[in-house]
Each structure stands twice: as structure tokens, then as C-alpha cells.
Amino acid sequence: MPRYRQTTVGDLKNQAVQRRKITDTKRTADPATMEVLCGELPEGNTTVFDRYASQQPQCSFGLTGVCCRNCIQGPCRITPKNDKGICGAADYTIVARNVARLIAGGTSCHSTHGYHIAETVLKVVDGKTSDYSIKDPEKLHAVCKRLGVSTEGKNDEELAREVTLLAFEDFGGHREEPCRWLDTTITQGRREKFRNCNIAPTSIDRTVVGMLDQTAMGQDSDPVNIIFGGLKTALCDYTGMHIATDLQDILFGTPYPVATEANLGVIDADYVNIATHGHNPTLSEMIVEAALQLKGEAEAAGAKGVKVVGICCTGNELIMRQGVALAANKASQEMAVLTGAVDAMIVDVQCIMPATKALAECFHTQFITTASQVKIPGAQHFDFREEDALETAKTMVRMGIEAYGKRKPELIRIPDVKHAAVAGWSTEALMKLFAGVEPEEPVKALNDAILAGELSGVALFAGCNNLRVTQDESHLSIVKELLKENVLVVATGCSAGAFAKAGLLTPGAYREYGGEGLQRFLDRVHEASPTSTGLPAVFHQGSCVDNTRAADLMVAMAEQLGVDTPKVPFVASAPEAMHEKAVSIGSWCVALGMPVHVGVMPPVEGSPLVYSIVTQVAHDVYGGHFILESDAELAAKQLLDALEYRRWKLDVHRATAEKYDADPAASW
């Protein structure tokens, strides 16, 4: 386990079981969401905030992870009197299995997403669709180089095909070597560590199926073996999402800084508002295109045009590449409908609450599902296929234009809350920014600032909204504390959404929130490599499927420092982790050697053994570990302590190597 200077990691604290009754149903730090919540709800309806309160108190066996439903003798639960399930499974087996299955769930989401993108690329090169094309040949070549694909004499289509076929091998191929998207994007130290611990996956599909097998009744009961299996699965999540990000960049362009706005105030009553919600840019990119093309029809219907706004990670995809405004993150998806001015909400996959559809029924809002695996009774469904994507998109946008005329003006209440935002900070964009100072080795600019003490490290903020806590509150309070202490912050997913909505992505915001060192650093790099957009306080890296952008940054830092990733002053925080995807992301972050803060207690408290492994022992084996802390102030302190710990060790090891004229210590 790591021992920070200020040691507060401590023992099992039991934070999960909150027996207090939640009466406050307006638990948000977002003023726009608050304004909508304070208004009237259509009769008989509830919001996610109400429903969370109604669910209290939640089952403590479920909360602590000791409820086993893996066979239909069960459910079994572990109590002081009954310390084994019917089959004899102990607390550590049940908790480990449940967590591992969460990881398998999250991995399935990201991998299915990645697979879908790969299929799209193949359809493009096979000429089965003309609605998409290869927009970023430079990225294609970079990916080829990394994968060892020879580019000589091949055109983009041929290269894209080769890359895609390699991706399919990572998904479902039968190989003895580790998945390529994992193996070619990490340090040598990580490669060896994953090999030596037997957690390097050779195929995503095989591993997830294997995980479900391993955790079925009468299978594995060794908690360490199950957790290692879980980490192997989590590395599949990494692989699948890295494929997704790479191929999306190839297909839609690698993001570079782009100016836009965020929060519910971006919904404009004068326009036909099309809200896109979900995760996959194959849909949303087409909606944006359709909206452009149908401007005339919208004008004919009396609107100024069609305005696409983003929700959740679709919002993040669009804000990164298209500069489309972001209306809401996950917990505010209903609020978008409640503005009364969303004419159609078009959704694809993940984080789609059925309740949002129910609410839409009370308005004129058209609620449209598009994915074969995400259907909601009562919603309109279009089978969105790449072959006729733009056509389908136009049909759906037209439904919005048609609905525009059916608005109920008395129900329209759009909060006047929005902030300017600059997004689009892919790792390539960050490197371009740093290259002004260090043209040869851009990341050196960042590392040097850390070694000089100007910056205290890098933090990735990721993850969801979770109704257990006040919406966005801990995202904001932790990040502000870190910015003050000169941490360079990158963000993805609904965490990035929270920052966008609150003005942390506003150009120049780093002057307001950043400590002196961070300000000095950003001034310096920006002066050397100016942008037209200006710099934010937090650098938006994309949706939750894009978390490997941050991992790439960490790996680049490690390579330049000549160390393995666990020594890089780099931490991650998911203040409101909610989705299974968050569990799988957090797990691979730990395997990659990051300290990972989670602000809501995952279901691990029921087993002191599992709790000890994930919060303590993981560090000894992998160099990363979970910091499970629901108090935002303590969490910020622990994240800073984790960075201090790494800088301290790095400094001591470097000085020692010099003094002893030896290689720097490899240990962390």
C-alpha cells in the first residue's frame, strides 16, 4: 500500500450505508438544473431526484456487495450470523464476483461501441455507405505506425481496412499475443507487469465471456483470482475504447480546440431544438449534418433554423469535434425535456433513462430511439444503419421540425444559464499546445514543469452523475481545490460536462481557478503556441469512451521521464461514478498504475479482503489503487497527497541514482 506523507488512507470506513432518509429532492449544484427543479412538474411525474429519495433506504446487502444473485437458489446475503451463502461462498467471493461482473458489463458497453465504429469504417471502405468518409488520414497513419502496419503504397481505404481487421482480431480473434490496442499503447513496464500477472487479454469477447463463466455458480471462489480476472476484463475495456477513439478520430477527425457554450441556456426557443443523447458519434454526426441540410425546412416551419444540442456523452462527442453546444450531463437529461423547448430527443446507447421518455410524453417532444439494443416501450424507434444514415437522420430531424409547431408556449421555461466553453483537447491537441515550448518532445514541457515544482501533477476527472450525492458538487469542489494547487486537469464524460456547465471550460478560466504555477505554465505554453480559442481551466478530452486519451498522455509522460506509469504524478478521480463503465474504467486505470479516487462507495465494503486489495494491496502489485472517499474535501487532499507521494519518490529516486551513479529505482 502507498503511505502518503499525511496518512489518511486508513482502514475500512463503511461509508456506503447511509440510513438517513433523503427528503431533499433538489440536490444539485447546477443552477440551471435547480431552476428547472424548482418549477412545476407535469402531474404524476417525477425526476431522477425524486426517485432516488423514494428508493431510500436502499438494501444494505446490495450496497456493500454481499448480496449474491448468481444462481436461483439465491439471493444469498452475508450477515454476521450467516457468513456463507448456500453454496458456501464467503463475503470475499461474493463481493469480488459482483464487482467483476460490473466490469464485464462496462467492458461490454465500450467494446460494443468500439465494434460498431469498426463496422462503420469497414462499411465506408467497402463502399456500403457514402454518408461517412475518412476525415483524418493523418491519424490513420499514426495508428498504422503504432500498430506496425506498413503504409507504403497503400491508400487510405486499404490502410483503414487493415486497421479495422486488426481491431476485429482484438475483439474476437483467436491469438496467443495480447490485444494489439493494449500492447502497443502502454509502456514496456506495463506490458511485462500484465504478462507476469497473467492479466493481458488476447481477445475482448473471449475475456468477457470468460469472466461471466468464472463468476458463475460453482466456479471461481478465489477472490484474488477473480479480481485479476476482473482486471483482465477491464483491460479489454481499455482496448475496446481505445479502438473506438482511434477509429472515431479517423472517421470524424481528431478533435482540436473549438469554442462553444454549455448548460440548459443553450436551448434556444427560436430554433427547432434537437437534443442528441447517448454516446455514439455515428448517429450524432449525421444529425448535425441533417440539421444543416434541413435549415430551410425549419425556417419554413417558422423557426430560425435547427439547433442541435448535446446531452451526456453524445454532447461530449459533439462539443469536441463540432463545437455543438452541450445542454446537460446525465442527471440533467430530464431537465432538457422540462424546458419545454426540445422538439426531438434522439438517443442511441448508454445512460438513457426510460424516465426521460415518460417525461417527454407530457410535452410535444418526440422521443426517438435508434439502437437495436436500446428500445423503450412507447418511444418511436428507427433502426439506424450506416447504409442510409443521413436519410434516417433527416427523417428524425424532420419529426422535430414538425413537433416545433406543437410546442406549448406556457410550458417553456429555459433557464438563462450558459457558459462559453473551449473543448477539443485531444492528446494530440495538448501536444500541439506543448510543442510551442518543446517542439521536439512536447510532453517534456509538462514533465519539466512538474519536476520544477511549477505543476503538482496531472489529474483526469471522469465518470458520471450519481444521485447519491448532490449533482456536480463534488466534481466542482475537488477540481477547484486541485486547480488551486497547480494540478493540470483533463476531463471526460459527465465530469467534463459538469465543468463545461459551470464555466470551467470558459476561455481564460484558468486565471480564475488556477494556482500561480498553473497560470504561469499555461501562459507560457499558450504564448509559444497560441490558439484562437484561448485556454480553459480544465481540458476537455471527450466522452467516457475517450478515457484512453488521458492514458496516452500518462504513457507519454512516463516514456519521457524514463519510468513506468506508476511513478508518473498522475491521478484520476470519478467523484460520481455510477455506471458499470465507470467501474471498468477505474479498474484499468488502477492496473495502469493510477491512484483512482471514487467519490461514491462502490459495493466492496462487505468484504474487508476485497476492500484491502483494491485500496491498498493493488498499489504493491500494480502501482495504482482506489481511493474510496465520499468527503470531497478529504478526497481532494488525498489526491494531492497521492501526487505529492509520487513527486517525492520520483525526486528521491532521481537524486539517489545520481548519487550512486546507478539506474533510477524501478520500484514505485
Partner 1 sequence: MSALAQWEERITDFDQIYAEALADAKTQPEALFKKAYEGAVIATSYAEILLNRAIRQYGRQKEIGYPDTAYHLPVILALSGEKVTTLEELIPILNRVRSQVKERYSFDQARLCGEATLYAAEIIEVLHYLDQDEPKPSPWTGFISDPDVRRYGIKLVDWTIPGQAVILGRAKTSEDAAKLVSELMSKGMMIFLSDEIIEQLLEQDMKIGTDYICFPLGNFTQVIHAVNYALRAGVMFGGIPGGERHNQRDYQHRRVRAFVLQLGEFDQVKVAAHMGAVFLGFPVITDQELAEEIPDWYVSHTNYDDLIKFAMELRGIKVTSVDIPIPLNFGPAFEGETIRRADVAVEFGGGRSQSFEVVRMVGIDEVEDEKVEVIGPDIDEFEEGDAVPLGIMVDIYGRKMQEDFESVLERRIHYFVNFAEGLWHVAQRDLAWIRVSKEAKAKGFQFRHFGDILIAKLKSEFPAIVDRVQVRIITDPAVVEENLAVARKIYLKRDDRLRGLTDDAVEDFYSCILCQSFAPNHVCVVTPERVGLCGAVSWLDGKASYEINPSGPNPPIPKGRCLDEERGIWESVDEYVYTTSNRSVDGVCLYTLMEKPMTSCGCFEAIMAIVPEANGIMISTRESSKLMTPVGMTFSTLAGVVGGGNQTPGFMGIGRTYVVSRKFIKADGGIARIIWMPKELKEFLRQDFVERSIEEGLGEDFIDKIADEDVGTEVEEILAFLEEKEHPCFTLDPLM
463 vs 659: CA distance, rounded Å: 43
Query: What grid cell was written down for 430?
Result: 495538448
CB of 95 to partner 1, least distance (A): 12
Q: How far is the CB of 622 from partner 1 (least distance, A)?
A: 11
626 binds partner 1 per the rule CB under 8 A: no
Q: Is 198 in the site for partner 1 (CB under 8 A)?
A: yes
Give whichever of 87 and 269 is closer to partner 1, judged by the CB atom: 87
The position carrying cell 460498431 is 116
Distance CA 609, CA 226 (A): 13
Which residues make Cβ contacts (< 8 Å) with residue 352, sequence separation at least 6?
Answer: 277, 278, 333, 369, 374, 376
Number of H helices, E strands in the chain: 27, 16
The answer to whether 501 and 319 are in contact (CB under 8 A) is: no
Residue 45 contacts partner 1 per CB under 8 A: no
Single residue of 138, 192, 387, 631 touching partner 1 by CB under 8 A: 192
53-61, 441-449, 512-520, 657-665 -> range binding partner 1 (CB under 8 A): 657-665
Q: How far apart are the first and last CA of the chain?
A: 10
Instruction: Give me the residue label for grid cell 474487508.
Output: 608
Residues binding partner 1: number (CB under 8 A) = 43
CB of 594: closest distance to partner 1 in angstroms? Answer: 18
Give the nearest distance from C-beta 192 to partner 1 in angstroms: 5
Q: Reply yes or no: is the peptide bond before residue 439 cis, omega within 30 of 0.
A: no
Q: Tell me: does residue 62 bind partner 1 (CB under 8 A).
A: no
AA letter at 374: V
Task: Confirm or reject binding of residue 1 to partner 1 (CB under 8 A).
Answer: yes
Residue 612 beta carbon to partner 1: minimum distance, rounded to whole angstroms = 5
Phi, psi dihedral angles at 515 (to 5 degrees):
-70, 175
Residue 568 C-alpha cell reads as 508518473
Asked if 625 and 596 touch (Cβ cutoff 8 Å), the reply is yes
Measured from the CB of residue 177, what is the shortest distance to partner 1 in angstroms?
A: 13
Look at residues 496, 592, 620, 619 and name the one whose alpha carbon lies nearest to residue 231: 592
Residues 333-392 that bind partner 1 (CB under 8 A): none
- CA 509, chain centre distance (Å): 22
- Cα separation, 478 vs 637, in Å, equals 9
Closest contact distance (angstroms) between CB of 5 and partner 1 is 8
Q: Counting contacts by CB under 8 A, is residue 171 touching partner 1?
A: no
Does 665 contact partner 1 by CB under 8 A? yes
Amino acid at 240: G
What are the grid coordinates assigned to 225, written together? 483470482
Shortest Cβ distance from residue 654 to partner 1 (Å)? 11
Q: Does 416 bind partner 1 (CB under 8 A)?
A: no
Q: Within 630-649, which residues bind partner 1 (CB under 8 A)?
A: 648-649
Q: Report the residue number, 424 or 624, with the smaller CB distance to partner 1.
A: 624
- State which H helix or E strand residue 532 sits in: none
Among 133, 213, 657, 658, binds partner 1 (CB under 8 A): 657
Shortest gap between Cβ of 582 and partner 1 (angstroms)?
24
Q: Directed axis angle between helix 91-125 and helix 281-293, to 10°?
A: 40
Helix 427-434, helix 443-451: angle, nearest 10: 70
Footprint on residues 213-232 left by partner 1 (CB under 8 A): 222-225, 228
Does residue 42 touch partner 1 according to CB under 8 A? Answer: no
- What DSSP letter does each residue of 181-238 carry, written as one string? HHHTSS-HHHHHHHHHTT---S-HHHHHHHHHHHTSTTS---HHHHHHHHHHHHHHHH
Closest approach, Cβ 191 to partner 1, in A, equals 10
Among 3, 69, 375, 511, binds partner 1 (CB under 8 A): 3
Q: Which of 190, 193, 398, 444 binds partner 1 (CB under 8 A)?
A: 193
Of the candidate residues 394, 468, 480, 653, the single one contacting partner 1 (CB under 8 A): 653
Which residue in 142, 147, 197, 362 binds partner 1 (CB under 8 A)?
Answer: 197
Q: Look at residues 576, 543, 572 and name the one whose alpha carbon lies nearest to residue 473.
A: 576
Q: Assess 411 for contact with partner 1 (CB under 8 A).
A: no
Of 270 and 620, CB closest to partner 1: 620
Amino acid at 521: F
C-alpha cell at 29: 449544484
Q: How far is the CB of 645 from partner 1 (least distance, A)?
A: 8
The answer to whether 451 contacts partner 1 (rule: CB under 8 A) is no
What is the nearest approach in angstroms of partner 1 to the Cβ of residue 87? 15
- Kindly state whether residue 663 participates in binding partner 1, applying the rule CB under 8 A: yes
**Contact flags string 561-600 toward partner 1, x per CB under 8 A:** ----------------------------------------
14 sits near partner 1 (criterion: CB under 8 A)? no
Question: Is 22 an interacting residue with respect to partner 1 (CB under 8 A)?
Answer: no
Of positions 73, 130, 150, 196, contacts partner 1 by CB under 8 A = 196
603-622 residues near partner 1, rule: CB under 8 A: 608-609, 612-613, 616-617, 620-621
- Show contacts with partner 1 in window 247-276 (CB under 8 A): none
Stretch that binds partner 1, among 148-156, 310-318, 581-589, 652-660 (CB under 8 A): 652-660
Site for partner 1 in 87-146 (CB under 8 A): 90, 92
DSSP secondary structure, 122-172, as one string: HHHHTTS-SS-----HHHHHHHHHHHT---TT--HHHHHHHHHHHHHHHHH
Report the SS3 class of residue 254: coil
| Cβ within 8 Å of residue 147, ≥6 positions away | 163, 166, 180, 184
Count of other CB atoms within 10 angstroms of residue 424: 25
Q: Which stretches of the chain bind partner 1, using CB under 8 A?
A: 1, 3, 7, 9-11, 90, 92, 192-193, 195-198, 222-225, 228, 608-609, 612-613, 616-617, 620-621, 648-649, 652-653, 655-657, 660-668
